[in-house]
Structure 1
């Protein structure tokens, strides 16, 4: 429309200049041609209105240039003599009209420089020729110069326009790429974008950020970020430290990265990780903050759970060994600072192993959880209780300056644990042995204090359990002696320090020797004669009982080969041996190496072997029975007696413990009842019975009257060396023959 208006005004001026000196029909024809040329040009440019979004073809470029050239040529006709000018003023005025059209075209068509170039070239050349013909060379040169200026200006303007369009297109492309990336970031990641104004109010809330806030984007717009994240704490004025730090960063306009913030919402507590940087406009004015955030609640909870698992016991919820160690260290530091005393109590449950082995780990775990609850009820704010592992617990006392404090606490713990437990319809009874050490008297560091409490615990268990023992310096001597004994015991077989003694077992009626029980003795070169009550438990604790037991089995079978065929040898087998893989193969090797028939070997076990791993023990004993050996159940009635294994295993003999024999000799009704019950049960199961600990003729007669099958005790012979056992067999055989 600007082109049409400009050409209309120029045509009106031209008509006013030419109408007096030229025929009207010529002027009218020229105006019609100019109008048609302008219409054609406008029509072509209308078709090129969308050229910004596509590429101009060669034919379109040529057609547009041709239309401009035609229009310029029509406007140049008055200057080239088609019309007569009244005077030089009209001639100059017409040139001015053409110059104005050229300038207007250059200003209006900067994006299409071809229009200006063609128009200025055609009209400028025509005007120069016209001025040369009229004898005005100066104006001709001015006309060419003006046309050159128009051409150069048009090219320069077109270049500037082109650069601006290219930059605009690049910026638009960048904006599109950034928008695409941000959209993809929010759609495919758990993170979100956030923005706040200088007052900390949310603006341009993204959908994902609004979702994290639990709001719609429109609801979140304009609300204070800190207030939304603080939740109910905002009104209470109790902001967590993380929100205080976020507020300070926003206030000081400081950039921050990976700031963990505690957020409170109606749905619960969440943890956010925010990064942000201050934003400024072109004039350097602060416009707010923008950044990214993500919900790290799951990662935070996982980290907290890992940290909890590292310091607490999962079964009982009590502090574990690591945390207890830290507590002991803190208690020692407190004692050193205030010249006070602290204490460490180590607790071991008595008879828990029997419960665990007989009823299963599931019941055992529930029992441990109840023990933990009772311990927590006993201790006060001055103590911390924890679980060391297995059935061992510990208590750290921060201030134990009062003399009887530790003893009173230990007795309270023993009483609490001794009360009956109800676990899955089972009524259970256990006890507790406690060893205590005072710091810094009994240890100025964690390791020493805990070790000394452990030594005191060993003493409490050695005294029968269900007791409290304090650490004493002599316990170190006992521990050192134990270590020395262990070192010597490891080399006892190689140094030939072990030997066997044999105690006879006789028939109750005939009093003939029917078997010998092999008993282990240790005469150490370093320690002298060591009691079996001392070194046998040590061998079991250190598992030295396995190689020692194998040696005993082999030597007992070898010695039995020197006796008459009717006499058996009985060998005690520890639970540690029965739990060894392929123990039956050890028995086979001993019989094969010595040539002893399997029916002459009797394996003696106690009830305790069924408490640790009854299934494995029963399977091993069944394999031994399959070899043809017999099995005797020793110390029946003194432990966790169960008739279940009597029903499933074919024991050859049940041995009545010496305590019942001595009780019966003193007319103890309970002992007499137990012996009668054992004899009756053994007879019904076709088993023999052996009474241990018979020391005189009266006891022998009593046992005979009670119906026991065999007798063992000092009355018929003490444990004797192998040579004496052989002599006894020969002597009794000769007496019988006579």
Structure 2
């Protein structure tokens, strides 16, 4: 079986922007580890870089001390020393974490080091330079060459810093020599600088390739150790023996080799001293060594005791077993046992444990580890009478990234989100990925409510900043739900459930906000659960029915049609508001079956009305995304006998937020049947003139909020209605004013140019029998009645 390790860096990842830390690689976790090795390599050469700068500074001072005043020369030397020392201290202060993670921002910040050092070394070229061809000029050229070569060796792991140093210093030197009239020397300087830049880039690339290969080999070794858990036949086990004073006797060559000692030297040494290494002097023994000491002291047999040992400065893990030795008189005379090196097995176990508890895509803790951490945090909080907290995060607009740019880009975006989130965490918090675009934060000590809320705001603000991924500028946000234990839950499961309800509330609030858990959220969730169960049975139990609201001509007052409105009366809960059960039906994916029932019922009823009266039916975005919707419309018209031009589908502007899912194409196919199309609630959503021109609407419905505003004299509302009417006329569309409740409002919308009117002034939504009666008589008679 052939496996491809996760750390196998592709050629595409070895582009110069990625190597320089200017662009993220395809695997954020792997490149984070490579950047850590770059910083570590520079750390090892920090003292060398400082020494070279001091030597070169001393040589430069000796070159110019006779021809240049001492004060500026000494000041320059002090500047070079300060800059070089600062850079070296920064490099040496970098913690040694070979498998750690370093962000691109950290690597980019090293660029100022090369720039600062180059500017400091540009001073002799600009201020102290002597005549071209003089010994001091030749000496300065040699010093600069030495310095640039040393910089290639010392700073090439930080290629961006090295390139800035070489580029600035080479440019200053070339220009300086060229201005002095030495064109050949200027060309030579430029060529030397170019060669050094080339050498620096190739050295930097080689370092990255070597580190990537090391990571790949490490991944392969770990995989093999996970699959083949057995000792090799190369002396992995050894024998050991002690006397009654717990000193090593008859040192076995294998045992001595494993301990890093010569057998003769090892004989007579206390066993604990052999195993403890440097800890023998300090007495700071590991728990396993202390347990071994207790076993030896009590002269008890023991098996499979695991303990850390130090061999030649390296920590190894051993597993040992032993039994006491007795002479012929039954007197204790020491221990005899066996041991084996289980370092690889332990590493394999740690690897498996990490794979089980960390997300492979982002490197963050996964759901299992989040739950374990939350349980421990709640236990500690309960022990000390404190509080812990749990945040649940959901990315806003992430699905649009996956739908438009593909899952690979979405995965890389999740990696960038994880980087930002991890950088916000302090030792008191732990973040992880629950799955998909959901993340979580465990806060161990949440007594400071203000600090917890401030963290939630920082998370939203940080995650909402633009992302640059594969030359795309991406904008996503975050919604956060917060629950605090034990107030909002005494178990981890309850606290997570409470945070989930708070997150649901945050999404309802418009996203990009955080909300804390409130007790009534459980009540609302239970109500939703009960309603959803009832909703699934509502149609088959004949609990749903349609009411029909008249739509009249604004000028004549004649009846032109009805709008079918869905109503639900539960046998126990009574009438349920559409504002409550329609969103629930969409969320539970029941809207398609309910919408189909509404469409067929309305068409069947309208077929019995006079031929000039139309029926309007609302269609949701979810229905239009279904490829079978056109078939449903065709079937409803055919079965009822209703002509297509008498059916009008009403859609809201939110439909056009799903254009990538085929809603617009579905509408075009429906229009080809001869069905009319109306745009409902125009101006209240994602208004765009683009889809008005692209889609063949027959009418635009003006939302009741504008009608009510205009009736109160609100100038903006009046202007909006006039603009909509003018727009509709220019596009050959009718306009329907919704929510007209008084004669004054009717007269106003008529004066403003609306062609049709709908509202309580002309009739409330009517039961089917009353609507049927009204449809079959003259509207003027109805008004008189």
CA contact (8 A) 1:638 1:657 kept: yes
Question: How far off its partner does 1:334 sit?
Answer: 0.9
* Contact preservation (8 Å) 2:774, 2:782: no
Task: Find the aligned partners of 2:404 and 2:435 in 1 and give their Cα distance.
Answer: 20
Distance 1:407 1:669, change over 3 A: farther
Q: Per-residue deviation at 1:532?
A: 0.8
Larger radius of gyration: 1
Residue matched to 1:421: 465
Q: How far apart are 1:522 and its partner, in Å?
A: 0.9
Match of 1:436 among 483, 487, 494: 483
Structure-1 separation of matches of 2:364 and 2:417: 11
User: Secondary structure of 1:491's partner?
Assistant: helix
Q: Give the 5 Å matches for 1:467-546.
A: 467-546=513-592
Deviations, residues 171-193 of structure 1 (Å, cap 9, x unaligned)? xxxxxxxxxxxxxxxxxx99899
User: Alpha carbons of 1:414 and 1:260: their partners in 2 closer, same or farther (altered >3 Å)?
Assistant: same
CA RMSD of aligned residues (A): 5.4
The equivalent position to 1:584 in structure 2, one of 617, 620, 630, is 630
Consecutive unaligned residues in structure 1, runs of 5 or more: 1-188, 206-221, 225-229, 247-255, 278-290
Task: Return the alpha-carbon distance in structure 1 between the equivalents of residues 551 and 544 of structure 2.
Answer: 23
Q: Counterpart in 2 of 1:548?
A: 594
Match of 1:334 in 2: 380
Aligned to 1:457: 503
TM-score by length of 1: 0.57
Query: More deviation in 559-568 or 508-517?
Result: 508-517
- What's the CA shift string for 1:542-593, capped at 9, x where partnerless? 2222322221111111111122222221211223333345232222332222
> 2: distance between equivalents of 1:677 and 1:708?
11
Gaps of 5+ in 2: 1-231, 242-247, 255-263, 267-275, 293-301, 323-337
Structure-2 change in CA distance of 1:242 and 1:411 (3 Å): closer
Residue 263 of structure 1: CA displacement? 13
Q: Deviations over 1:20-68 (max 9, x none)?
A: xxxxxxxxxxxxxxxxxxxxxxxxxxxxxxxxxxxxxxxxxxxxxxxxx
Aligned to 1:633: 679
Cα 1:670–1:535 shift into 2, 3 Å: same
Secondary structure (helix, strand or coil) at the match of 2:583 reads helix
Aligned residue for 1:718, secondary structure, equals: coil
> Aligned residue for 2:453?
410
Among candidates 648, 656, 662, match of residue 602 of structure 1:
648
Q: 1:400 to 1:415 in 2, by over 3 A?
A: closer
Change (3 A) 1:261 1:340: closer
Judged with a 3 Å threshold, the aligned counterparts in structure 2 of structure 1 residues 487 and 292 are, in CA distance, closer, same or farther, namely: closer
CA distance in 1, matches of 2:461, 2:734: 38
Say if 1:452 and 1:589 are closer, same or farther in 2 by CA, change over 3 A. Answer: same
Offset of residue 376 of structure 1 = 3.9
The TM-score normalised by the length of structure 2 is 0.54
Post-superposition CA distance 1:372-411 (Å, at most 9, x none) = 455445443222233333443332222233xxx3465235
1:22 matched residue in structure 2? none
Give 1:81's aligned residue.
none
Q: Provide closer, same or farther for how the CA distance between residues 346 and 392 of structure 1 changes in structure 2, counting only shifts above 3 A.
A: same
Does structure 1 residue 447 correspond to structure 2 residue 490?
A: no
Distance in 2 (alpha carbons) for counterparts of 1:390 and 1:257:
45
Q: Distance in 2 between matches of 1:361 and 1:296?
A: 39
CA separation of 1:190 and 1:477: change in aligned 2, threshold 3 A? same
SS in 1 for 2:580: helix
Query: What is the aligned residue count?
Result: 535
Compared CA separation, residues 390 and 410, structure 1 to 2 (3 A): farther
CA distance in 2, matches of 1:584, 1:237: 81
In structure 2, the residue matched to 1:324 is: 370
Distance 2:745 2:458 in 1: 41
**Cα drift, residue 276 of structure 1:** 14
Equivalent pair of 2:479/2:503 in contact (CA under 8 Å): no
